[in-house]
Structure 1
């Protein structure tokens, strides 16, 4: 028995030493940061800002690769099945938590197939109304919606997206029936909102702000727990009479499960330092995103809460995506 225990201990020690040595040489080549959305959107903008700074700090190129399709599932699955060597990372959004409940046919598990590195940012959306809507605040909106079920419509970037779920959570918590109109992208929904084809939208702040400043769209409330510096006079939905309403978009970086912990820790340390860069901070502020920069353990715990939270919203709303 003693020789067996000695061999087992030796094997474990060699494995740890090998992992540490591998991490000391990391990175020795280009790192891919996969983004599950098209170029030009907020996830892509933030990812490219981080990639540029991170590459400088690591002394290797960090290349952003946009891999679209299936609500992000194509990108998430591809990274989950990549070698666990730290050279392929995923720039994840709230969808990686939501998809666990939305897509039964997905071929990855958010909580089992990834090594969380860090949550990058978090930021609320803003509920905006076309100027023809009579409601000046959420209380008036709820009162009108209850008296006129399905008369008000809200647009989103597609079924199962964070903009859709924000509306379904509002329906559930406020006890109303806003009609959901899915689009093939948030910009298309926003165009129809400005034109009056739909009345409401849960929009990212950066896209809505020019219309708010021009008086074309009216901000009714923000979706997070606290008010935003960009819109200090706009209350949260919860403080506007819809208790326990809270949903935010967030970005994070994960590696394939099994990535050596020294590499995960190195990436975490360097990415958190990157987030402190003034030029990146300014870019994030303009997008309405707040820097988080959590530890791997904190991000892992956060993901578990988000997966459960999104599952509850999906179940309550009856959303089904094939």
Structure 2
């Protein structure tokens, strides 16, 4: 989805080539059978660091210290906002507000521990949203991606 948003935002021709796995797409990229991809840092970062791939832009709020010469997307294409993959912690519907607040507080304390970010895999960065902010993020992502899905005519199988 991000690559389609990038293609539309920068107005360049590209053909979507679907892959079942990141590994299959990565193999074709390294072999030169495709010219570009967008994938998780855990997949691409080791290859960028080794020089088998060239990082064109980092889709994060700041440059990744592991690849400081790769600009952020905001630097490379000002005004173009793509989504970042993120993880959330979920509970059952009806979870008491005080328990939800306690979980958010405890997770925030863990993320704030010195050195925690350095233990995250492949360039992942801790990013804490409270319950209300996460709900707003979900609504925004769903609306934005829903429009793109409709625009390009994707359907569920």
Tell whether the structures are fold-level matches, with TM greater than 0.5: yes
Of the three residues 114, 124, 134, the one matched with 1:299 is 134
Q: Structure 1: where are the runs of 5+ without partners?
A: 1-164
Q: CA RMSD in A?
A: 2.1
Q: CA deviation at 1:320?
A: 2.5
Residue equivalent to 1:176: 12
Residue equivalent to 2:46: 210
Q: TM-score scaled by structure 1?
A: 0.44
Q: CA deviation at 1:278?
A: 4.1
Of the three residues 158, 180, 194, the one matched with 2:30 is 194
CA distance in 1, matches of 2:115, 2:51: 29
Q: Structure 2: where are the runs of 5+ without partners?
A: none
Q: Conserved in 2, the CA contact under 8 Å of 1:193 and 1:201?
A: yes
Of the three residues 74, 77, 82, the one matched with 1:246 is 82
Of the three residues 146, 150, 155, the one matched with 1:315 is 150
Residue equivalent to 1:140: none
Relative contact order, CA 8 A, sep 6+: which one is greater? Answer: 1
CA distance in 1, matches of 2:30, 2:80: 29
Q: Which structure is higher in strand share?
A: 1
CA distance in 2, matches of 1:275, 1:307: 26
CA distance in 1, matches of 2:91, 2:27: 36
Q: CA deviation at 1:314?
A: 1.9
Q: Which has the larger radius of gyration?
A: 1
SS in 1 for 2:88: strand
Residue equivalent to 1:270: 106
CA distance in 2, matches of 1:321, 1:174: 27
CA distance in 1, matches of 2:147, 2:67: 29
